[in-house]
Amino acid sequence: MLILSIMENNQLPKGGEFLLRKTKAENVFIPEEFDEEQQMIVQTCEDFLEAEVYPNLERIDEKEPGLMQKLLKKAGELGLLGISVPEEYEGFDQSFITSMKFNEAMGSAASYSVAMMAHTGIGTLPILYYGTEEQKAKYIPKLATGELLAAYCLTEPDAGSDANSGKTKAVLSEDGKHYIINGQKMWITNGGFADVQTVFAKIDNDRVLSAFIIEKKWDGVIINPEEKKMGIKGSSTVQIFYNDVKVPVENLLGKRGEGFRIALNILHIGRIKLGATVIGSAKRTINQSVNYANERKQFTQAISNFPIIKYKLAEQVIKTYTTESSVYRASKDIETTIEQYLKDGMSKGEANIKGVAQFAVECALLKVYGSETLDYVVDEAVQIHGGMGYSSELPIDRSYRDSRINRIFEGTNEINRLLIVDTALKRSMKGEIDLFAQAKQVVYELNKSAEHQFELKSYFETKHNNIENFKKAILLILGNGQEKFKRKFAFEQEIWMNIADMIIPLYAAESTLLRVEKLEMIQEKNEITDNDDLKLAKDILNVFVYDCADTIYKAGADAINSFCVGKEQQLMIKALGNFTKVAPVNTKLARRNIADKLIEENKYKF
């Protein structure tokens, strides 16, 4: 019988290895563990948004000239643009987990959030992590204080998901002092006002990109008018043309030909940070949903009393809670890895880049899961508001329109789903994780017996058994798919999408299980007898695992049916059914409990 190995306390986690290992609850970080200093940073963010941003959302959406820049610079004065920047460059030098909490706190600020995240993330981090000491000394302090604002220029008209196909060219000048850059970039966030741009181009006839630091004020930098967009209307989005722009050779960022790797690694960071950002937006939208449901009366009572509305409210909470559990679990693993790399002698920039890149699978799945969670939350918020949700008189229409871009940002969700499977398979082929060996073991067990019985002793043992079986279901499909198609497996995108749709809820379910288990440990340690919060957390976990079983079964069955026939198909479908069996759950009662808590508090407090 396959028993997944347990991650020991002193064992460095590896990206994607959650498919093969059990994780102990005491080894994860949960949101209930944020300390006083981290909560103070959150409070500073919330105070800033309440005072400066929320009252001005309409003006921001109308792109009032200079307003976005002014608000970004105000955030810089408070130190909010330098959360991840080392102190020697005028920053706060906070941990990775703290920076993620900061992203969550700022995530509810609509278009302003997009501008700030672009500046502090993909705008600043390439220079911080790949820049020379001279480059960092010149640009980073001013980016941290808001004196300079930043943009990231990768996408081109014919180079979107296939970023390395970009045609922007850089040619060394005859005197060897400048690169002459010509080309076009599009969908550039902050592009209308950013002083500093990280621009990707190919030097001469190179096959891969290089990266350059370009200043807006230089001759030949031509900025087009603002794009008209469905949502995030207050975010500056433009095309930028580079016509014989002379870039000093010292402004080459990183090494020649390193640009594509820089772009990918910065996108890994952007993906997991987006996963945190959408949590803030989801929580604010849930608050607006329950506030309206408690105020709106129909048939002589508040609509929050109606079970159908309670279902919607509860599902909003469940999806947000599971997203939050997943994001901070992964953030802890990344932070632990970064700290170990620093101990091993890496520079801060290299440790951060490699620490996040190690968890490319988790970054991609959190981007997908988080963006689709927010899309669900805002969609149901419109429905709860009814006709008023479709009116621009209330802020829900902005939330609905603004959410849609998140499934496209940082690589489309389709690309990220493929990336989840591709990265896991490549890691296994390189011997970094033992995916294929464990997949073969699942198949071996399947041939011996398709059914396993376990003597379960406790609530958490039962749930861990469910998770272990979900992992076996995924390994079953992965192993058989790889064996069937071999090198042609990469062309079976539908099957890869099925596998991704099994992996994503599996990670969320296990992360939520570990959070609830650790929460119980904390309450027992502190001798807390009022366990209402724990009971609700278990309601969330029960419903989610129950629903995950169906999700994983459906995606797995679709995959099996696409490459198996006859007795093999029957055997695999039977095994999949066994691996996705879970105990019955009274989901109606559990969701009502969750909704009643939300309705009573009139605010998300989970």
Which residues form the catalytic set? 410
Dig out the tokens for 50 from the structure: 């309440």
The rounded distance, in Å, linking the Cα atoms of 335 and 432 is 19
The amino acid present at 176, given as its one-letter code, is G
Element holding 266 (H helix, E strand): helix 259-295
Pairing of strands 178-189, 221-223: unpaired
SS3 category, 150: strand
| Angstrom distance (rounded) from CA 56 to CA 112 | 10
| Paired residues of 200 in beta bridges | 211
Nearest to 143 by CA among 81, 193, 189, 201: 81
The Cα–Cα gap between 264 and 162 comes to 11
Residue with tokens 């490549």: 426
Q: Which residues pair with 170 in a beta bridge?
A: 181, 203
Angstrom distance (rounded) from CA 495 to CA 555: 9
Please give the Cα distance from 137 to 66 (Å, whole number).
Answer: 27
Count the neighbouring beta carbons within 10 Å of the beta carbon of residue 532. 9
Place of tokens 């009252």: 55
Cα gap 416→369, rounded to integer Å:
10
Segment holding 131, helix H or strand E: none
Cβ atoms < 10 Å from Cβ of 3: 8
Report the alpha-carbon distance of residue 467 to residue 469 in Å, rounded. Answer: 5
Spatial contact of 198 and 258, defined as CB atoms under 8 Å apart: no
Which of 94, 89, 96, 164 lies closest to 124 in space, CA to CA? 89
* Whether 270 contacts 370, CB under 8 Å: no
**Of the candidates 260, 234, 19, 209, the residue with the CA atom closest to the CA atom of residue 118:** 234
User: What DSSP letter does each residue of 474-543 carry, written as one string?
Assistant: HHHHHHHHHHHHGGGGGG-HHHHHHHHHHHHHHHHHHHHHHHHHHHHHHHHHTT----HHHHHHHHHHHH
Alpha carbons 266 and 81: distance in angstroms, whole number:
17
Shortest CA distance to 507 belongs to which of 473, 541, 467?
Answer: 467
The residues pairing with 164 across neighbouring beta strands, listed in sequence order, are none
* Radius of gyration in angstroms for the set of CA atoms belonging to the chain, rounded to a whole number: 25
Q: What's the Cα-to-Cα distance from 365 to each of 265, 479, 572, rounded to whole Å?
A: 15, 20, 26
Number of residues assigned to the chain: 606
**SS3 of residue 62 by DSSP:** coil
Structure tokens at 25: 């609850």
